Structure 1
Amino acid sequence: MNYKEACKYILNIPKFGKKSGLENIKILLDLLDNPQKELKFIHVAGTNGKGSVCTMLSYILCEHGYKTGLFTSPHLINMNERIKINNIDIDNEDFINALVQVKNKIEYMVEQGYNHPTFFEVLVAMAFVYYNNNNVEYVILETGLGGRLDSTNIIENPVVSVITSIGYDHIAILGNTIEEIAREKAGIIKHGRPTVLYYDKKEVFNTISIECSNKKSKLYSYNDFNYGILKRTKKNIDFSINNKYYNYNEVYLNTIANYQIINISIALTTVEVLINEGIDLNRKSILQALKKFTWPGRMEYVMDNMLIDGAHNVQGIRMFVKDINNLYKNTELSILYTSLKDKPYKEMISELKKCNNINRMILTQMNSDRATDANLLGEYCKEIGFKDIYTITDIDDAVEYAISLSNEGRMVCCIGSLYLVGYIKSKMKEEAQYD
């Protein structure tokens, strides 16, 4: 099996994989001799920010010399991005080797009449095998969807469970109310193990605190923190930050996204819990790690006048709009937008309408059955009062048009889907290789 064949096998899994609670992943990992039981985990769930928090924590542990695994999803360009050690993607050879080990057990499962594991279950098992084979000291583990029935929740005794900001997303699966969604996320809380929670809704706190009480999990929770911007450029922010758990006078971050400050606050709170759990971490190395932190596709410039952001739900769009109104209040903006069918595109576009200075909306759709029809997006934009609307159904044409506007010196923001972000990054990577 070569790398291309490995990716093809994994991508074809949705055609025959069937989710069955945690039963599939348990059987598969049992057949693999439970590699996860040899690992120490920091488990992270939430609606927004969990990938950033995971990556921040990975940089911090790596800076202190700990061999650190990082498992996140989705990927933007290559599947290898999901599985890292010391912030370096798994290479193709190790990717193939991990898949071969997992695939052999899957074939036995199917022969015995069990369900074929899902796409995500296969990747989780591959990650555990890879981390165990490489004697990783800590694994930062991001849930895929929810928490309670997420495949990553097969782990038993995390060092700490972390729950980031919770909002309305995947309501068809997780529930129609904030309490129901929070209850699903709370599924990662384990008996006797500490929990970190950032919340901006009292219902979230109430739900999580009850679960922590039931499981005798010490809860480190907060809904407010203080920060002050010391310096801002087009590429980074210097700021001070504190809450009841920590105080930092100067933090340097390679991003222009204010919403990453929320994620920093969660990461730094988690650091305090890790120190309480006996992990040797110091302030100098923590700050040095945060200087190195990058998380692609979040308020990222891909050209001088072209910004991409992976916000793909109402809460994410709302945070994007807040930052844009602060950073570009005197600049006319063109927005390239697309969405998936399972996302509330009307609510998301309505949030975009709160941008003070959008002068052009470009609507497109990904080459996928999951994509929302660009014409529907365009009709709704017209309905709520956008004036200059371009509906370009072909994604290549839409991106080329956005690039042409950027080359003319116009500011363009691309938002609405991580698939759009990945598509743009992949396209630009190909063009750079061609050049």
Structure 2
Amino acid sequence: MLSDGMKYLETRLMFGMVPGLDSTRMICDALGNPERKFKSIHVVGTNGKGSTSFYLAGILQAHGLKAGLYTSPHLVSLRERIRVDDEPISEADLDRLLLQVKQAAESVSSAQAALGKPALEPTFFEVLTVAAFLYYAEKGVDVAVLEAGMGGRLDSTAVAGGGMAVVTGIGLEHTEVLGPTESAILREKMGVLGVPGEASGVVGDGAGKAFVLGGLGPDLLEEAREYATALGASIVVPEVRTEVKLPNLGRHYVENASLSLKAAELFLNAPDRAGKRYDDALSVKALATRSWAGRMQLLTGPDGNVRVILDGAHNSHAVRRLVQTLDEYYPGQKFHCLFGALKDKDLHEMLRLMMPHVSQWHVTRTPYTRFRELSDLQTEIESLGGHVASAGEMSETYIQGTLNASEGPLLITGSLYLIGSVVQILKNDFDGLNFFKKLAPSVNENH
């Protein structure tokens, strides 16, 4: 049975994603601006935001800071999205804070109506973001690492007005909202710290602010420098720390960890900050055991052998990273692959890239309507010369069947929502999924 807070949150699903800061600001104002009671670091980009945020929060925590972490989407439970020192928010706290946001939103809406203005109808993401602000303020965090949901300039996390933004890389995504080119998308994402020549309320101007940039080609990097200069912010482009060892396989995670290391260094060594200064050896040690779930994550059996490779490669850009990693760590090896994808993804390109690495395909879907039908997946795979060994709806029986059929590690990929379903089913079978054992499934806003 849903709690009252969760019932309210689910009523917000119908409003979809609405870029803009007005609703979030008005609700925060009504609640006494909880977002101003802690420092924030923003993380924006096309891919890699979640892992970068997770690594950064862990490094700050290792230095003795109480660190908040806000990420999306979740794999199993909404509680994953709002953490303090790696502990997810409790069901009771989440319910209580959602109802506080509801009350504040209704108060603002009544005031709007009295002025003849439209009712305030905050979105799912806006409500959850304000609940996170309230939680971090209550818990007295020293810093919150905030992953943007979409873009940056008009993403509700921007209301926190942090002094630093980590940009993980730029690709074409949400072009109908963020713009048709990588250049336009870059400006939207960097806008999380403000817009040159534009008064931006809580976000303020760029004085004393900093961007940590990764994954940008020469042209975009030059544009980023021009944007930062116009804003009055500084820019750091860290070197990739190839000596860093992570549980998540792949150079792209090393790149993300490198961004996190530099962001932590800048934050901890800021002239106006008291307390422990940045310790690189401590930071690298913290990363060595920090596994970002569902992203090139290896699940081992009792015998120590890898049984499952979980990777939420949900678009062609992410699949390229996946196959590069397979080439590096499993050269020449072909896998049984459990695959499911959403309707709005470039299925043909994703499958084409993966085809050389797959011996047998097992296609699946969850009950959510955005998933492609099994027949569509099978037709596309066979048109590329692949062999579909099985097709079935996602279930414990189907996963166990594919595990039994796979001679080596079973590769599971295609959608983060698929990964979430798999994690929920397998969480009691692998120590690598211990974080999820006490979490009950809840809906994602994009379903």
Letter in 1 for 2:230: N
The verdict on how the C-alpha distance between 1:176 and 1:226 changes in structure 2, with shifts beyond 3 A counting, is: same
Higher relative contact order (CA 8 A, sep 6+): 2
For 1:144 and 1:18, how far apart are their aligned partners in 2?
10
- The Cα shift of 1:74 comes to 0.8
Distance 2:119 2:70 in 1: 26
- Matched residue type, 2:294: G
Question: Over residues 142-171 of structure 1, what are the superposed CA-to-partner deviations in whole Å (9 max), with x where a residue is unaligned?
Answer: 100111111111122x23111002222333
Out of 306, 309, 317, which is 2:308 matched to? 306
Does the residue aligned with 2:359 lie in a helix, a strand or coil? Answer: strand
Query: Could you list the per-position Cα deviations for residues 107-153 of structure 1 after superposition, in whole angstroms to 9, with x for gaps in the alignment?
Result: 22344342311010011000000111111111111100111111111
User: Of 170, 177, 181, which aligns to 2:181?
Assistant: 177
Ranges in structure 2 where 5+ consecutive residues have no aligned partner? 195-205, 301-305, 431-436, 438-447
Q: Equivalent residue for 1:148?
A: 153
TM-score, normalised via structure 2 length: 0.84
Q: Which of 412, 428, 431 is residue 426 of structure 2 equivalent to?
A: 428
- Contact preservation (8 Å) 1:109, 1:116: no
What secondary structure sits across from 2:365 in the alignment? coil
Give CA deviations for 1:37-83 in whole Å, capped at 9, x if unaligned. Answer: 12211111011111111111111111111111111111111111000
Contact 1:17 1:119 in 2 (8 A): yes
2:368 counterpart residue number: 368
- Offset at 1:105? 1.1
Identity %: 30
CA-based RMSD of the aligned residues comes to 2.2
| Matching residue of 1:333 | 335
Distance 1:364 1:175, change over 3 A: farther
Task: Determine the C-alpha separation between the residues in 2 that align with 1:180 and 1:422.
Answer: 32
- Using a 3 Å threshold, how does the CA distance of structure 1 residues 372 and 115 change in structure 2: closer, same or farther? farther
Task: Please state how far the C-alpha of 1:257 moved relative to its aligned partner.
Answer: 3.1
Q: Contact between 1:35 and 1:128, CA under 8 Å: does it hold in 2?
A: yes
Q: Is the deviation greater in 202-211 or in 184-193?
A: 202-211
State the Cα distance separating 1:96 from its structure 2 match.
Answer: 1.7
2:358 maps to amino acid: I
Q: How does 1:5-404 map to 2 (within 5 A)?
A: 5-16=4-15, 19=18, 21-111=20-110, 112=113, 113-156=118-161, 158-190=162-194, 191-192=206-207, 193-221=209-237, 225=240, 227=242, 240=243, 251-278=244-271, 279=273, 280-303=277-300, 304-353=306-355, 355=356, 357-386=357-386, 388-390=387-389, 392-396=391-395, 398-404=398-404
Aligned length, in residue pairs: 403
Local SS of the residue matching 2:237: strand
Amino acid of the residue matched to residue 42 of structure 1? I
Q: SS of the counterpart of 2:12?
A: helix
Alpha-carbon distance between aligned partners in 1 of 2:296 and 2:52, rounded to the nearest angstrom = 15
Check whether the contact 1:18–1:118 (CA below 8 A) recurs between aligned residues. Answer: yes
Q: CA deviation at 1:226?
A: 6.0
Contact map agreement 1:378 1:389 (CA 8 A) in 2: yes
Contact 2:66 2:141 in 1 (8 A): yes
Task: Report the Cα distance in structure 1 between the residues aligned to 2:402 and 2:3, rounded to whole angstroms.
Answer: 31
Tell me the SS of whatever aligns to 1:188: helix
Residues 158 and 193, structure 2, Cα contact 8 Å, conserved in 1:
no
Contact (CA 8 Å) 1:375, 1:391: kept in 2 or not? no
- Contact (CA 8 Å) 1:55, 1:295: kept in 2 or not? yes
Shift in CA distance, 431/255, structure 1 to aligned 2, threshold 3 Å: closer
Report the CA distance shift for 1:416/1:189 in structure 2 as closer, same or farther (over 3 A).
Answer: same
Q: SS of the residue aligned with 2:69? A: strand
Cα 1:22–1:376, aligned 2, differ >3 Å: closer, same or farther? Answer: same
Distance 1:364 1:41 in 2: 39
State the alpha-carbon separation in 2 of the partners of residues 337 and 293 from structure 1.
26
Q: Secondary structure at the match of 1:410?
A: coil
1:391 Cα offset (Å): 5.8
| Alpha-carbon offset, residue 5 of structure 1 | 4.1
**2:237 counterpart letter in structure 1:** S
Q: TM-score, normalised by structure 1?
A: 0.86
Shift of the 394–17 alpha-carbon distance from structure 1 to 2, 3 Å rule, reads closer
Deviation at 1:390, TM superposition (A): 4.0
Residue 29 of structure 1: how far off its partner (Å): 0.9
Q: 3-state DSSP class of the match of 2:135?
A: helix
- CA separation in 2, counterparts of 1:6 and 1:430? 28
Residues 162 and 270 in structure 1, CA contact (< 8 A), matched pair in contact too:
yes
- Larger CA deviation: 334-343 vs 199-208: 199-208
Aligned partners of 1:164 and 1:199 also within 8 Å: yes
Structure 1 residues 226 and 25, CA gap change in structure 2 (3 angstroms): closer
- CA apart distance, 1:24: 1.1
Structure 1 gaps of 5+ residues are 228-239, 241-250
Tell me: CA distance 1:430–1:351, structure 2 relative to 1, closer, same or farther (3 Å). same
Could you tell me whether the CA contact under 8 Å between 2:313 and 2:416 is conserved in 1?
Answer: yes
Quote the offset at 1:375 in angstroms.
Answer: 2.0
